[in-house]
Structure 1
Amino acid sequence: MFPGRINWIIQLTLVGCLVLGIEQSVNAAEAQEYNVGVGIADITGPSAEIGMMGYASATQSARGIHIRLYSRAFIFDSGEPNGRAVFVSVDCAMIGQAIKLEVVRELQLKFGTRYTKKNVMLSATHTHSGPAGYMQYALYGISSFGFVQDNFRAIVDGIVESIEKADRDIQPGRLSIKRGTVAGANINRSPSSYEANPLEERNQ
């Protein structure tokens, strides 16, 4: 299994835009001070004889681990009442309500009302190279022949652990947003299809 190739620079930019609602660039010298924390934990589930999430063929099943899957948590706290938010980047194809609800439930057992459905955002890297069977809807469980509790628990437990680590890591920090072009951060999986676009599109 290998996680989606998401550049950490891009992740941090998205975190700032999505969680804090910043709509324009700010100068680094004028960056807002926050209390911030980061944490990472393993979410690798079953490594063999399980379908991969999003694969259409039931014959495509896992046969070992290439690279482990992770949950990466980022906590931002402005110091004001209700000023804390959590963004978690998870190496899986998508996030379902069942995972979100279970993560929040376990966090509240540990932290009370510090973390809720409103201030915890879970985002998937959309990798299809991780095991399936963790969604609550039957359609998404076709490739895994149903719900796989072991994988569900691995993902939930890893997300919770990454947030716990980020919570323990809280310290003063600065958050700034920059705009620019990141070259070589991704590849086009179908160059021949892209070449069918109009010339003005391809020249951008």
Structure 2
Amino acid sequence: MMGYTNDEQIASGIHFWLRAREFIVAEQRQGNRVVFVNLDACMGSQIVTIKELERLKARYINRNLRRKVFHIRMETFTQKNVAISGIDTHAVPGGYLQYVVYIVTSLGSVRQSIYVLVDGIEKTIIQAEENLLPGSFLVNKGKEFQSFYALLLTIL
């Protein structure tokens, strides 16, 4: 398990399936995209993001060359428009972060942990990309008058 820095903590097997949820916002005319990945992991990882972008770039270059289709540009997915975030769960395999403090308990970087995350994220981005539908965002502007303290008073 990731991140508790307790050498007595041992975990193996699958307790819950971990998910990656993607949200892709695309401009219809220009095709510009923003991808937000909400990963069932403690946090996003720079190394996972770099590997994911390399994988997506290679996939779309090869796909476009084979099909001779160029509507999805090679620069569709970049560090400027892909954000990978985590939900702060520690029930994820360790070793997928690149900083020493996070990989102490996994005894270093674990290639399998990195690539299982990259594989899962890639599959869900492709699925989201292939199932894009028209949608909209609603934005509201105003003041929130209900404070946390006032909410507690209504409960008590």
Q: TM-score, normalised by structure 2?
A: 0.77
CA distance in structure 2 between the aligned counterparts of 1:87 and 1:172, rounded to whole angstroms: 17
Are 2:55 and 1:106 equivalent residues in the alignment? yes
The reply on whether 1:153 has 2:115 as its aligned counterpart is: yes
1:114 Cα offset (Å): 1.1
The separation in 1 between residues aligned to 2:128 and 2:12, in whole angstroms, is 32
C-alpha displacement at 1:94, in angstroms? 1.2
* Distance change in 2, residues 1:176/1:201 (3 Å): closer
**Structure 1 residues 167 and 60: CA distance shift in structure 2, 3 A:** same
Query: Equivalent residue of 1:172, what SS?
Result: coil
Equivalent of 1:121 in 75, 78, 83? 83
Q: Percent identity?
A: 34
Q: CA RMSD in A?
A: 2.4
Equivalent residue of 1:85, what SS?
strand
In structure 2, C-alpha distance between the alignment counterparts of 1:73 and 1:202, rounded to whole Å: 32
Residues 201 and 176 from structure 1, CA distance in 2 versus in 1: closer, same or farther, beyond 3 angstroms? closer
Selected match of 2:33 from 75, 84, 92? 84
Query: Which one has a larger percent strand, Structure 1 or Structure 2?
Result: 1
Aligned-residue offset at 1:66 = 1.9
Equivalent residues, number: 135
Name the structure 1 match of 2:46. Answer: 97
Q: CA deviation at 1:175?
A: 2.3
- Of Structure 1 and Structure 2, the greater helix share is in 2
Matched, 1:136 2:98: yes
Report the CA distance between 1:61 and its aligned residue. 1.7
> 1:173 Cα deviation (Å)?
1.7
Q: Deviations over 1:157-202 (max 9, x none)?
A: 11111101101001212222469x9xxxxxxxxxxxxxxxxxx699
Distance 2:78 2:151 in 1: 44
Deviation, structure 1 residue 97 = 1.3
Structure 2 residue identity aligned to 1:152: I
Per the TM alignment, residue 79 of structure 1 is displaced from its structure 2 partner at its CA by: 2.0
State the alpha-carbon separation in 2 of the partners of residues 122 and 97 from structure 1: 9
Unaligned runs of 5+ in 1: 1-51, 182-199
- 1:37-81 CA-to-partner distances (Å, cap 9, x unmatched) read xxxxxxxxxxxxxxx111121111213322110111111112243
Equivalents in 2 of 1:125, 1:107: separation in Å? Answer: 23
Moved more, 54-63 or 170-179: 170-179
TM-score by length of 1: 0.60
Separation in 2, partners of 1:95, 1:64? 22
Paired residue for 1:59? Answer: 8
2:64 is matched with: none
Match of 2:65 in 1: none
Contact (CA 8 Å) 2:20, 2:39: kept in 1 or not? yes
Secondary structure at 1:162 match in 2: helix
Which consecutive unaligned segments of at least 5 residues does structure 2 have?
Answer: 61-73
